[in-house]
Chains A and B, each alone.
Chain A
């Protein structure tokens, strides 16, 4: 194969190749070219995003480990640390939704227990094209079943997340999986190889030809029977991973382990050279000792296989028997495949010959870094604010509310989350479908709250606002349940970074995230970038997804989103402006996707979080619900529906200098809907004044109807049961269409 073809097959540019040659002082052999190809890929090297990600705040008083490891680590008190990260599995889920989504969950779980943490919660952020398209329905069914299959088998509850439907994700779904674990603060394991002569073990599933990057094109012998040897979809084995999880956690309690890393993207290559580079060491591995599922695998294939459920670990010399005994208890084989060396090289042996020899740092740390061109798209400047007066006024707002509740983005996601075990470990104290997932930490008074949020539509119309709003909404969701954010993780899903307009979106979104994180004091402790989300040259909405984790010091102070008692007073915290641009109302009712997304004043938002912190810690709120998609009208409706089928009506009357649809469906940021016992009202008002948050009393809970009056005129009068039925069944109806 001539060089140009080889480089194309390996997705390396001529410049990158020349850099490799000058670093090595020679031409790389085919195996080495494969190593550089995967390690210098966008996925592993962050070559397009690195210069931008540097702008994100990553430090904070509680951060024990920031970006660069398998996951971020934050001190949560009581001698414990929370370990968490979100990661995309968009491309595999596009190829095969069930296995793609399942192995996405498997991968993020490995990232967490690799650090020594017991995974206690999963979430996922999913985006699909409209359910009116048959293919999207089957992608949804497949991805959800795959996530369920993996997470349920692992015995880790899936406690929350988000599901969004937009044309932009037609045939190009986004699957972002999040996992959180808990570890003793003093016993976090890092992936840095240390100690010359220490043995390197391979544990878990055998290596097959799964997902070998570019392998079909890379070698002439692949020409025949290419069909048979085409890189296959990775198939997850959650049972294997469950055994690995338990065995690894047991090993971590022994004194045998030095360092450990999972084999994810780029498999054995990535884990070996990253562990070596982090510790400043070399690693020598013998491929003949790698357990293989298939016969006749080449060195190239073994190095680049992405078979799932595999871990690489460095043990203390002399403790080999202990390592083997623990894995044996779990019916797993631990194979010693190499050792730590002092020369800094990744040296690969096969059939007694050295088949690759490259300094670890060239692969892991010295990949290319690009400052790609940025260009603001012309369409950006043309977006203007959209007000109620710019659209036709609906004749029946009750019908409009029903239409909004039927929108698949707003409708209940129970058809999805009921396929996930969300109760195992018996810690889930806020069910999915609320603002945030909340799990208590047994043995402490605490609970941890977590949520994933993003709004691709906002980001496509204004990527800076899209980034900042995702952070604001996540933190607001945590505020609603009574939690204080302690750290965040991000998953940045974008199109082709070689296009200046995409890169501009990316840069803007990062700036938005940075500003919001800095203002709220929430460090980003890790995450992932997914570029090239395109089908037939059309990119998805730029979709920054933010996962925030927060602490509730006293789990009994956790607040639910739904009304609890009849006769409670309903308050809106925060101010409403006439902002319909980019709203769900504009899309669902007027079939318009345009306009400026709602403004975000970070100081106003922070004041609201401050108020919520005091109000929840003083137990002043009976319920609290974040306002986001669909605005006040949807927040009120959702507050009528409890997670176990409970319902409660409300009578609402609002005075505002604007049209009713603008009042109900504006998506002004920085607002929360709360219900308050009458005796708590004075304290809450005083608190709101102190925090400078406008507070308006808009109604009272009770009854079986939702009645809404706006400016003295009847706007909505519907039976709660009818509204709930619409909202509850909309996705099932969409799937059976």
Chain B
């Protein structure tokens, strides 16, 4: 049975939601690992959860990359194991150089907590393996800095290599302005690295894994993560 490490930084606040989804909903083994640990030996996947690590005081995700655990996370990524960053975790992966681009302030200049529609742009990533290519899921965002930015060259590379995992769309699956309230470039909600084992996404599957929470679409993403981890063990 794979073991999932949910890395906890000072200021993280979604670690228990991720753990609950994996452990209580899917029956997997997920453990919280404090950021001062320097090893992730024995774990098959690492998840960097959402929150406000170090208060996001310098830049979102900026200080967390100096935590001892990040070396272990980097090693795991180099090993081809799944490394997932959700929201603040995505921002940390960008700051750590494991994923390209950076997050600017939402174009509304406000924090936005809202259900949005996402389109899965590839069906073979750790977060989309059990989805159909092009499948639409409804998953909430909760952030003030989700306005994905990268220079044109990087964006071209991401598109050319099909490294966009999720895009913000409307209910019909089309891109439009009101479906991308952050103003993210190319409506990007999630991307992967060149090897395809590191995924960052701004929306929170950890907030919608049971229908009474709004939707249970997030459950599909965690099921995907479990399946991908097992397949690549």
Q: Do chains A and B touch in the complex (CB under 8 A)?
A: yes
Residues of A within 8 A of B111 (CB): 148-149, 152, 419-421
Task: Write the chain A residue with the least CB distance to B34.
Answer: A329
Q: Are B110 and A242 in contact (CB under 8 A)?
A: no
Interface contact A429-B52, CB-CB below 8 Å: no
Does A442 count as interface, using CB distance less than 8 angstroms?
Answer: yes
Q: Within 8 Å of chain B (Cβ to Cβ): is A410?
A: no
**Cβ–Cβ < 8 Å partners of B57 in chain A:** 239
**Contact across chains for B55 and A424 when beta carbons are under 8 A apart:** no
Cα(A442)–Cα(B209), bound, Å:
14
- CB-CB under 8 A from A429, the residues of chain B are 212-213
Q: Is A237 an interface residue (CB 8 A)?
A: yes
- Distance between Cα atoms of A291 and B54 in the complex (Å): 21
Task: Tell me the complex Cα distance, A240–B140, Å.
Answer: 27
With A243-B11, A555-B212 given, can you name 8 additional A-B contacts, CB distance below 8 Å?
Answer: A152-B111, A243-B10, A423-B140, A424-B14, A424-B207, A426-B207, A429-B213, A442-B24
Q: Is B13 an interface residue (CB 8 A)?
A: yes
User: In chain A, what residue has the closest Cβ to B52?
Assistant: A153
Task: Report which of A149, A330, A424 forms a contact with B13, defined as CB distance below 8 A.
Answer: A424
User: Hey, which chain B residues are within 8 Å of A238, CB to CB?
Assistant: 52, 55
Please, could you name 25 A-B residue pairs with CB atoms under 8 Å apart, sorted by A?
A: A152-B52, A154-B13, A239-B10, A239-B54, A239-B55, A242-B13, A242-B52, A243-B10, A243-B11, A330-B10, A331-B10, A418-B114, A419-B110, A421-B113, A423-B140, A423-B213, A423-B214, A424-B50, A426-B17, A426-B206, A429-B213, A431-B214, A442-B24, A558-B212, A644-B115
The answer to whether the Cβ of A440 comes within 8 Å of any Cβ in the partner chain is yes
- Whether B16 lies near A239 (C-beta < 8 A) is no
Residues of chain A lying within 8 A (CB to CB) of residue B16: 425
Asked if A155 is at the interface (CB within 8 A of a chain B CB), the reply is yes
**Is A422 at the interface (CB under 8 A from chain B)?**
yes
C-alpha gap A146/B212 in the complex (Å): 29
Q: Find the B residue at minimum CB distance from A331.
A: B10
| Interchain CA distance A556-B211 in the complex, whole Å | 11
> Per-residue CB proximity of A574-594 to B under 8 Å, as 1/0?
000000000000000000000
- Kindly list chain B residues whose C-beta atoms are within 8 Å of the C-beta of A331: 10
Tell me if B11 and A153 are in contact (CB < 8 A): yes
B165 to chain A, nearest CB (A): 21
User: A145: CB under 8 A from chain B?
Assistant: yes
Return B70 CB to nearest CB of chain A, in Å.
Answer: 17
Q: What residues of chain B lie closer than 8 Å to A153, measured between beta carbons?
A: 11, 52, 55-56
Would A423 and B11 count as touching, CB distance under 8 A? no
Contacts of A149 in B (CB 8 A): 111
For the complex, give the distance between the alpha carbons of A426 and B18 in Å. 9
Count residues of A near B (Cβ-Cβ below 8 Å): 36
From 234 to 262 in chain A, residues with beta carbon under 8 angstroms from any chain B beta carbon are 237-240, 242-243, 246
Q: Name the distance in Å between A173's Cβ and chain B's nearest Cβ.
A: 19
- Least CB distance, A120 to chain B, in whole angstroms: 11
A48 interface residue (CB < 8 Å to B): no
A239 near B11 with CB under 8 A, answer yes
B196 CB-CB contact with A under 8 Å: no
> In the complex, A423→B86 CA distance in Å?
15
Name the residue of chain A whose CB is nearest to the CB of B213.
Answer: A426
CB < 8 Å neighbour of A424 from B110, B138, B142, B144: B142
Residues of B within 8 Å of A243, CB to CB, are 10-11
* Residue A428 interfacial (CB < 8 Å): yes
Contacts of B55 in A (CB 8 A): 153, 237-240, 242
A644 to B60, CA, bound (A): 28
Bound CA span A154–B14, Å: 11
The answer to whether residues A425 and B17 also contact, given A148-B110, A419-B112 and a CB cut-off of 8 A, is yes
Contact B113 A420 (CB under 8 A): yes
Cα distance A423–B11 in the bound complex, in angstroms:
17
Min CB–CB distance B25 → chain A (angstroms)? 10
Residues of B within 8 A of A556 (CB): 212
Tell me, yes or no, whether B126 is within 8 Å of chain A by CB.
Answer: no
User: B149 within 8 Å of A by Cβ?
Assistant: no
Minimum C-beta distance from B186 to chain A (A): 23
The closest CB in chain B to the CB of A330 belongs to B10
Of B11, B17, B56, B212, which one neighbours A440 at CB under 8 angstroms?
A: B212
B-facing mask of A134-150, CB < 8 A → 1, else 0? 00000000000100110
B167 at the interface (CB under 8 A from A): no
Task: Tell me the B residues contacting A by CB distance below 8 Å.
Answer: 10-14, 16-17, 20-21, 24, 50-52, 54-57, 110-115, 138, 140, 142, 144, 204, 206-209, 212-214
A418-472 interface with B by 8 A CB criterion = 418-426, 428-429, 431, 440, 442
Q: Are A423 and B52 in contact (CB under 8 A)?
A: no
Tell me the nearest residue of chain A to B14, going by C-beta. Answer: A424
Task: Return the 9 tightest CB-CB contacts between A and B, nearest first.
Answer: A155-B13, A239-B55, A423-B207, A426-B17, A153-B52, A429-B212, A421-B142, A419-B111, A419-B110
B10–A426 CB distance below 8 A: no
Q: How far is the CA of A423 from the CA of B204 in the complex (A)?
A: 10
Residues of chain A contacted by B142 (CB below 8 angstroms): 152, 421, 423-424
Asked if B213 and A428 make an inter-chain contact with CB atoms under 8 angstroms apart, the answer reads yes
Shortest Cβ distance from residue A156 to the other chain B in the assembled complex, whole angstroms:
8
For A426, the chain B residues whose CB sits under 8 A away are: 17, 20-21, 206-209, 213
Q: Shortest distance in angstroms between B204's beta carbon and chain A's nearest beta carbon?
A: 7
Within 8 Å by CB of A145, from B50, B110, B207, lies: B110
Closest to B210 in A: A426
A49–B22 CA distance with the chains assembled, in angstroms:
51
A262 to B129, CA, bound (A): 48
Which residues does chain A contribute within 8 Å of B115, judged by CB atoms? 644
Residues of B within 8 A of A417 (CB): 113
CA of A426 to CA of B14, assembled, Å: 9
Interface residues of A in 392-424 (CB under 8 A from B): 417-424
- Determine whether the beta carbon of A418 is less than 8 Å from that of B10: no
Most interface-central of B13, B57, B213 (chain A CB within 10 A): B13
Nearest A-chain residue to B140, judged by Cβ: A423
Q: How far is the CA of A558 from the CA of B113 in the complex (A)?
A: 23
CA separation between A153 and B55, bound complex, in Å? 7
How distant is A51 from chain B, measured CB to nearest CB, in Å? Answer: 43
Docked CA distance A200–B44 (Å):
45
Residue among B110, B111, B112, B115 having the largest count of chain A Cβ atoms under 10 Å: B111
Most buried by B among A239, A243, A331, A417: A239
Residue in contact with B113 in the complex, picked from A237, A418, A440, A442, CB distance below 8 Å: A418
Complex-state Cα separation, A383 to B204, whole angstroms: 53
- Give the residue name and chain of the A residue nearest to B12 (CB): A155
With the chains together, A716 CA to B51 CA distance in Å? 47
Looking across the interface, which residue of chain A has its beta carbon closest to that of B206?
Answer: A426
- Smallest Cβ-Cβ distance to A155: which chain B residue: B13
Give CA–CA (A153, B142) in the complex, Å: 11
How distant is B147 from chain A, measured CB to nearest CB, in Å?
A: 16
**Chain A minimum-CB-distance residue to B50:** A424
**Which B residue's beta carbon lies closest to that of A243?**
B10
Q: Which residues of B contact A154 (CB under 8 A)?
A: 13
Q: Are A424 and B17 in contact (CB under 8 A)?
A: yes
User: Bound complex: CA of A138 vs CA of B85, how far in Å?
Assistant: 35
Shortest C-beta distance, B133 to chain A (Å), equals: 25
- Give the Cβ gap from B176 to chain A, nearest Cβ, in Å: 15
Whole-angstrom CA separation of A154 from B51 in the bound complex: 8
Closest chain B residue, CB of each to CB of A414: B114
**In the complex with contacts A153-B11, A330-B10, A421-B111, A239-B52 CB distance below 8 A:** yes
Q: Write out the residue numbers on chain B whose beta carbons fall within 8 Å of the beta carbon of A422.
A: 113
Q: How far is the CA of A237 from the CA of B17 in the complex (A)?
A: 24
Bound Cα distance from A403 to B120, whole angstroms: 41
> Judging by beta carbons under 8 Å apart, are B212 and A423 in contact?
no
CA distance A354 to B174 in the complex (A): 73
Complex alpha-carbon distance, A155 and B114, angstroms? 16
